[in-house]
Chains A and B, each alone.
Chain A
Amino acid sequence: MDWISPRALNRLGMLNMNRRNVDYIARYNERSSYPLVDNKLKTKLAVAEYGVKTPQLLQVVKQQHEISRFRDMAEGLAGFAIKPAKGSGGKGITVITGRDGDDYVKASGARVGASVLERHLTNILAGLYSLAGTPDVAIVESLVESAPSLARYSHQGVPDIRIVVFQGYPVMAMLRLATTDSDGKANLHQGAVGVGLDIGTGRSLNAVQFNRPITLHPDTGLALENINIDDWEEMLEMASRCYEATGLGYMGVDLVVDSNEGPLLLELNARPGLAIQMANGRGLLPRLRAVESLKRPHFTPGERANYAMKTFASL
């Protein structure tokens, strides 16, 4: 058994679960703002007013009888994603990337019939994937087609970029790449690869899978060292703008880069995970404390993103 001493963790400024919950989430996140991020439909509508783009909403299925309309609408589509509005951790998300006759092709390459999708919608409505098992609605949105520069690193799924935003400042970022293990979803605990990104430049730092450091993508075999994210400053500013939209002091912002639309917001998370620190090889605490001790906070998202790029890379 291998252990790290609490002292070493303190030196590194590693944020842990209990402190995150007590000192950051409980203190900086208003309970009343939670539904905004826990419900992807509400998130979409809220951030739209602040000029943050999201994948196009194709249909909202609220009731059992609306499922038949889904079938009509889906007939004409090549690719789309079905999500439970109140889902989390990639649960209940079905991504359809193409068609094969009457069948739909999933991101993993598996083919499913329309009836399977309808059953899936039924399950979502019943609340199978929602946080508290309460009835839910299903969102159908357009398929995000990842920019090729990033897409080639990811196996069967859209890579997304997680940015932790603290009081409007983007403090740490990582790129998440889907793998076979993660079934085409970019959720770390399901086996996606996390690649730490230098907050100052958008260049890759280290990579981890299942909490263990790796250097090559397990499926594509590509080296993960020299990834560079384009339009980095724009993405940070976009993440920063979500603070104004939700008022959440401590959150995770998930962005994707669409080949046509550019950066899009996929979802917000009021309880962002801690693995981002391992992908970066840095602890969050020094940066969080730097923000907490700011005497005069910056007022615009642009200023905050700029400040973050200049200051945090060295912390």
Chain B
Amino acid sequence: MTSPSRLPFYIAVFLLITAGISLAVWRHIELGIPWLTGEQRPVWMVEARVDFDGSNEPVVASLNVPEQPPGFRILTEQAASPGYGFSIIDKAGSRRAEWTKREVVGPQTLYFKAQFIPDPNAEPAPPAQPPKTKRLFWEEPQATAVREILAQAEARSSTPESMTRELIQLMQPDTRVQNTTLLVSEANYLQLLVNMLNHSGIPARTADGLKLEDARRRQQLTPFLQIYNGERWLTLNPKTAAQGVPEDLILWRQGSESLLDVVGGDNSEISFSMLRQTVPALQLAAMQFDGDGLSFLSFYELPIEEQSMFRMLLLLPLGALVVAFMRIVIGIRTSGTFMPVLIAVAFVQTTLVPGLVAFLSVVAIGLAMRGYLSSLNLLLVSRISALIILVIFITAGLSIFGYQMGFNTGMTVTFFPMVIIAWTIERMSILWEEEGGQEVLVQGSGSLFVAICAYLLMSAPLAGHLTFNFPELHFAILGLILLMGQYTGYKLSELRRFTPMKVYD
């Protein structure tokens, strides 16, 4: 029976649904907006503590802070140091936190806190132009030793990476030959390595890393070696030559800048403490992508008041979906097509039981009063208007009565849309007069049933979360509703209604 003209319709519906879902999936992956409400993500809180003694002079303390450590994203940064001027200075290739104060006496403590989110995809941007190497002038006999070691390492390697590995190997105590012993001492090992690599034409530098362990205090940084392989900086362990940054290691400092400079103070020291925290994934996503181009579909940009209004509005399509399903597929009769949705919305605000009690009492009292109105022989418009006013009286009466009896549920009546209730009462009472109490019961309970179903769906935390954070899912809902509009199969209720046809089968 499907005529060909319906094909474009189905394609459009299909596109609508896939667009909605894939947009949601994409935003989930890109923005990290979680599917579930309660999802938590780990965050590392790292605190750098700088101690020094003031010597009655103006102080400038400048601490290197991470810019883009591999494997982490910086969520927040904050400095705590009363009485100091503070700013973060971005200078070519390095970021420094700078504290300043004019008169400083005695021991001083400065704090810098930052939160890091583990993110395997986070990578520092590669340098705009390849870094230059510096050739050092070596004195004899070191010059010969360096030349020979480098020649040896070079002979065994093919790339900057393998060259570095070989060199590190040659400099280890157990493999050291005479040449090496001549050069190496514990204190200068890393700097020597950097110098030798630079000498051989491979850009190299040092970096400092912090090992992340929950609830550790007074930790120090460990040094690492970085070489440039022509594309980007690689990090190596200077002792084992293991390449890459371990997952639990955050590179606090990269590049040639010093870690800490204190001008006007003595005995400066730095130590780190850290804490593993969890934050709701949703909050994380919202913070991380504040103002990001991808967040165009986000309602978090709106003022709070509008947000809560949209929270409600975005639930309505779910209610409409329930009504469409109940009427088209199940075949439940309701009084007024979307009256159940509006009642369900009111239930969301009042919660179910108080809402139900309030709604039923208003309608019941209203029906009794409507009985009197109908004997007055009024015109329809004035009868409805009178009914609206009566409904408001009933509502007010119930609220005051409920309040004086000591429960707040009385107040919840005010959430119900007065005009809708008035119409409901009007329809019910006409139905009563014309079709009898049974039809009122059927349609009334049908409406309430659909309203409760819609309420249960709309009040589920997951529903609120998904509709608000993935508004594009409404495309899929729209698609489903359109599809249902084309459903030509039997309703569930018809399978019962047509039962007597069994005898003719």
A-side residues, CB < 8 A to B, are 1-6, 8-9, 11-12, 14, 16-19, 22-23, 91, 119, 122-123, 126-128, 133, 190, 208, 211-213, 277-278, 281-283
Q: Can you list 13 A-B pairs, Cβ within 8 angstroms, ordered by A? A: A3-B495, A3-B496, A4-B495, A8-B501, A8-B502, A9-B494, A14-B498, A23-B488, A128-B380, A133-B380, A208-B500, A212-B500, A283-B501
The CA-CA distance from A9 to B501 in the complex, in Å, is 8
Picked from B1, B485, B490, B503, the residue with its CB within 8 Å of the CB of A9 is B490
**Across the interface, which residues of A come within 8 angstroms of B264, CB to CB?**
none
- The reply to whether A278 and B500 form a contact with Cβ atoms under 8 Å apart is yes
Residue of B nearest to A283 (CB): B501
- The reply to whether A16 and B501 form a contact with Cβ atoms under 8 Å apart is no
**Across the interface, which residues of B come within 8 angstroms of A283, CB to CB?**
501
**Across the interface, which residues of A come within 8 angstroms of B381, CB to CB?**
126
A-B contact number at CB 8 A: 84
Interface centre among B331, B487, B504 (most CB of A within 10 A): B504
Q: List 7 additional contacts besides A4-B499, A281-B501; criterion CB under 8 Å.
A: A3-B495, A4-B496, A4-B502, A8-B502, A17-B494, A211-B497, A211-B500
- The reply to whether A126 and B379 form a contact with Cβ atoms under 8 Å apart is yes
**Across the interface, which residues of A come within 8 angstroms of B491, CB to CB?**
16-18
- The reply to whether B495 and A282 form a contact with Cβ atoms under 8 Å apart is no
The CA-CA distance from A6 to B496 in the complex, in Å, is 10
- State whether the Cβ of B4 lies closer than 8 Å to any Cβ in chain A: no
Residue of A nearest to B489 (CB): A18
Residue of B nearest to A135 (CB): B380
**How many residues of chain B are within 8 Å of chain A by beta carbon?**
29
**Across the interface, which residues of A come within 8 angstroms of B430, CB to CB?**
128
- The reply to whether A122 and B501 form a contact with Cβ atoms under 8 Å apart is no
Q: Shortest Cβ distance from B370 into chain A, in angstroms?
A: 13
- The reply to whether A22 and B488 form a contact with Cβ atoms under 8 Å apart is yes
- B309-333 interface code vs A (CB 8 A; 1 in, 0 out): 0000000000000000000100100
**Across the interface, which residues of A come within 8 angstroms of B485, CB to CB?**
22
Residue of A nearest to B493 (CB): A17
Picked from A2, A3, A6, A128, the residue with its CB within 8 Å of the CB of B489 is A6
The CA-CA distance from A8 to B381 in the complex, in Å, is 48
Picked from B487, B495, B497, B500, the residue with its CB within 8 Å of the CB of A18 is B487
The CA-CA distance from A97 to B150 in the complex, in Å, is 122
Residue of A nearest to B383 (CB): A126
- The reply to whether B505 and A213 form a contact with Cβ atoms under 8 Å apart is no
- The reply to whether B500 and A119 form a contact with Cβ atoms under 8 Å apart is no
- The reply to whether B505 and A12 form a contact with Cβ atoms under 8 Å apart is yes
**Across the interface, which residues of B come within 8 angstroms of A190, CB to CB?**
435
**Across the interface, which residues of A come within 8 angstroms of B494, CB to CB?**
9, 16-17
- State whether the Cβ of B55 lies closer than 8 Å to any Cβ in chain A: no
- The reply to whether A11 and B505 form a contact with Cβ atoms under 8 Å apart is yes
Beta-carbon contacts under 8 Å, B426-457 to A: 430, 434-435
Residue of A nearest to B492 (CB): A3
- State whether the Cβ of B175 lies closer than 8 Å to any Cβ in chain A: no
- State whether the Cβ of B404 lies closer than 8 Å to any Cβ in chain A: no
Q: 10 smallest A-B Cβ distances: which pairs?
A: A126-B380, A19-B488, A281-B504, A119-B377, A126-B379, A8-B505, A16-B490, A2-B499, A4-B499, A18-B488
- State whether the Cβ of B229 lies closer than 8 Å to any Cβ in chain A: no
- The reply to whether A278 and B498 form a contact with Cβ atoms under 8 Å apart is yes
Q: Shortest Cβ distance from A248 into chain B, in angstroms?
A: 20
> A17-B491, A23-B1 given as contacts; is B500 within 8 A of A123 (CB)?
no
> A9-B490, A17-B494 given as contacts; is B500 within 8 A of A91 (CB)?
no
The CA-CA distance from A3 to B490 in the complex, in Å, is 12
- The reply to whether A9 and B435 form a contact with Cβ atoms under 8 Å apart is no
> A133-B380, A213-B500, A278-B500 given as contacts; is B495 within 8 A of A5 (CB)?
yes
- State whether the Cβ of B486 lies closer than 8 Å to any Cβ in chain A: yes
**Across the interface, which residues of B come within 8 angstroms of A127, CB to CB?**
380
The CA-CA distance from A8 to B503 in the complex, in Å, is 11
**Across the interface, which residues of A come within 8 angstroms of B488, CB to CB?**
16, 18-19, 22-23
- The reply to whether A9 and B377 form a contact with Cβ atoms under 8 Å apart is no
Q: Shortest Cβ distance from A10 into chain B, in angstroms?
A: 9
The CA-CA distance from A126 to B379 in the complex, in Å, is 6
**Across the interface, which residues of A come within 8 angstroms of B504, CB to CB?**
12, 281-282
Picked from A2, A5, A123, the residue with its CB within 8 Å of the CB of B380 is A123
**Across the interface, which residues of B come within 8 angstroms of A91, CB to CB?**
434
The CA-CA distance from A4 to B502 in the complex, in Å, is 7
The CA-CA distance from A71 to B494 in the complex, in Å, is 46
**Across the interface, which residues of B come within 8 angstroms of A12, CB to CB?**
501, 504-505
The CA-CA distance from A6 to B491 in the complex, in Å, is 9
- The reply to whether B496 and A2 form a contact with Cβ atoms under 8 Å apart is yes
> A122-B379, A128-B380 given as contacts; is B486 within 8 A of A4 (CB)?
no
Q: Shortest Cβ distance from B383 into chain A, in angstroms?
A: 8
Q: Shortest Cβ distance from A110 into chain B, in angstroms?
A: 14
The CA-CA distance from A277 to B497 in the complex, in Å, is 12
The CA-CA distance from A195 to B496 in the complex, in Å, is 20
Residue of B nearest to A289 (CB): B1
**Across the interface, which residues of A come within 8 angstroms of B498, CB to CB?**
4, 9, 14, 277-278
- The reply to whether A18 and B328 form a contact with Cβ atoms under 8 Å apart is yes
Picked from A1, A277, A281, the residue with its CB within 8 Å of the CB of B496 is A1
Q: Shortest Cβ distance from B420 into chain A, in angstroms?
A: 14
**Across the interface, which residues of A come within 8 angstroms of B503, CB to CB?**
213, 281
**Across the interface, which residues of A come within 8 angstroms of B377, CB to CB?**
119, 122-123
Q: Shortest Cβ distance from A175 into chain B, in angstroms?
A: 18
Q: Shortest Cβ distance from A15 into chain B, in angstroms?
A: 10
- The reply to whether A14 and B501 form a contact with Cβ atoms under 8 Å apart is yes
Residue of A nearest to B430 (CB): A128
**Across the interface, which residues of A come within 8 angstroms of B499, CB to CB?**
2-4
The CA-CA distance from A1 to B492 in the complex, in Å, is 13
- The reply to whether B331 and A17 form a contact with Cβ atoms under 8 Å apart is yes
Residue of B nearest to A208 (CB): B500
Q: Shortest Cβ distance from A34 into chain B, in angstroms?
A: 18
The CA-CA distance from A187 to B490 in the complex, in Å, is 23
The CA-CA distance from A278 to B497 in the complex, in Å, is 10
> A9-B495, A126-B380 given as contacts; is B489 within 8 A of A4 (CB)?
no
**Across the interface, which residues of A come within 8 angstroms of B328, CB to CB?**
18
Q: Shortest Cβ distance from B9 into chain A, in angstroms?
A: 12
- The reply to whether B501 and A4 form a contact with Cβ atoms under 8 Å apart is yes
Q: Shortest Cβ distance from B67 into chain A, in angstroms?
A: 62
Beta-carbon contacts under 8 Å, B391-437 to A: 430, 434-435
Q: Shortest Cβ distance from A208 into chain B, in angstroms?
A: 7
Q: Shortest Cβ distance from A207 into chain B, in angstroms?
A: 11
The CA-CA distance from A126 to B384 in the complex, in Å, is 11
Residue of B nearest to A4 (CB): B499
Q: Shortest Cβ distance from B4 into chain A, in angstroms?
A: 14
